[in-house]
Each structure stands twice: as structure tokens, then as C-alpha cells.
Amino acid sequence: MERAEEIVDFWVNDVGPDGWYVADEKVDAEITQRFMNDYDLAASGKLEEWEETATGTLALIILLDQFARNMFRGRPESFDADPFARDVAGRAIRKNFDQEIDEPVRQFFYMPFMHSENLGDQNIAVKLFKKRTSDIGNNQIHARAHREIIHKFGRFPFRNAALGREDTPEETAFIAEGGYRSIVEKLSAESNE
């Protein structure tokens, strides 16, 4: 379990909130170099014993849902472990493991649902962020923005290039008009009214 604690410590203290949502080649390279073997073990189901604790489960989710996006940025492999990450997160939430982790780190239990291209999962994400967080960093708005995109397009247009999908004319217009950022700005303005 020491390795799980090391993963969480690296993500929380070394990368930290300022680096969680920023594309940084140096961070991506460090994550790949330090944690690729752990990711491979997690993705192949060989770290199931980590699900016995909140910290262990959080480390699994970070590996499968966050580190995958760093290690495989811009490639389809970024999303390969998403279903497994959702399963792990769902089991953790049923055990209330998320409630054992302080904010803002708690949000990572909910991210696998927000990263899904399934509207039902998006509804779960919005509900979790609303009921189980205090909205540090506007996570509720971001969850709603992700859901709005899936409701409108059935997928995330910003993943199309990585997944070899053609943009529809509607998706091209959406991206040209500001894409994700425009939805976040609209929802932020609405919540301030």
C-alpha cells in the first residue's frame, strides 16, 4: 500500500491543483517514467487489493483515469481504462471511500463519470459533484458543461482527433465558437445571476 500512497502524494503534492488540468510535457514524461508499470498493473486488474482502502482506491483511479491522460496524451490509449476506472469509482462511492478523502482531492472519485461519453454517467457526475463537494474550483459547473456536450453531441468533439473520428459540421462550429470554454463561461454567467 506504500506505492498507492506514493502515487496519491505525487499527484496531490508534486503536481497539485495548479497542474491537474494543464498539459505539461515535463509532467507527462515524469508520470510515464515513474508510473507506467503501475498503470499497466492497474489496467490489467492486478492491483485489486488496493480497493480495500480509500487511499488505495484513489490511487487506482488516479492511475486509470488521470495518469492515462498524461501518459498517452493525444492518443486513443488515453481512454482505454475509462470503463475500469468508472467501475472502481462506483465501488468506492458505494463504500463511501470518497467521503474519507478531503476536498479538492475527493473530486477524482467522480472524474471517471465526468469523462464518460454516456449521458447516464454524466448525470451521475453532476449529482455527485452537487451532493458530495462544496464546489471548490467550480467543479459543479465543469460537470454540467461535460454533460451538456454529451447531451448535444453524444461524444466529446475534442477527442475526435485522438480517436480518429471525423468532426460533424455542428462539432466544427462548436469548436470554432469557443468549444468547452464557451459552455463553462455560459454556465458560470447563469450561476452568477
Domain boundary among 94, 115, 136: 115
pLDDT of residue 54: 99
Rounded CA separation 68/59 (Å): 12
pLDDT of residue 37: 98
Note whether 129 and 80 are same-domain residues. Answer: no
Note whether 104 and 59 are same-domain residues. Answer: yes
Domain boundary among 115, 136, 164: 115
Range of the domain at 98: 1-115
pLDDT of residue 135: 66
For residue 93, give the nearest of 74, 106, 79 by alpha carbon: 106
Domain boundary among 87, 115, 143: 115
Note whether 108 and 123 are same-domain residues. Answer: no
Note whether 99 and 132 are same-domain residues. Answer: no
**Do 175 and 158 contact (CB within 8 A), yes or no?**
yes
Note whether 104 and 127 are same-domain residues. Answer: no
pLDDT of residue 69: 98
pLDDT of residue 136: 66
pLDDT of residue 134: 86
DSSP string, 21-66: TS--HHHHHHHHHHHHHHHHHHHTTTTGGGGGSHHHHHHHHIIIII
Q: What is the pLDDT of residues 52-94, one digit of tens each?
A: 999 999 999 999 999 999 999 999 999 999 999 999 999 999 9
Note whether 92 and 35 are same-domain residues. Answer: yes
What Å distances lie between residue 87 and 7, 104, 111, 135, 186, CA to CA? Answer: 20, 21, 12, 24, 32
Number of domains in the chain: 2
Note whether 176 and 106 are same-domain residues. Answer: no
Ordered mean pLDDT values, 10 residues apiece, the chain (193 residues): 95 96 96 98 98 98 98 97 98 98 97 98 97 83 97 98 97 96 92 77
pLDDT of residue 118: 98
pLDDT of residue 137: 65
Note whether 124 and 102 are same-domain residues. Answer: no
In single-letter form, the type of residue at position 37 comes to: N
Note whether 108 and 127 are same-domain residues. Answer: no
For residue 70, what is the domain's CATH number?
A: 1.20.58.320
- Which residues, in sequence order, are CB contacts of 6 under 8 Å at separation 6+? none
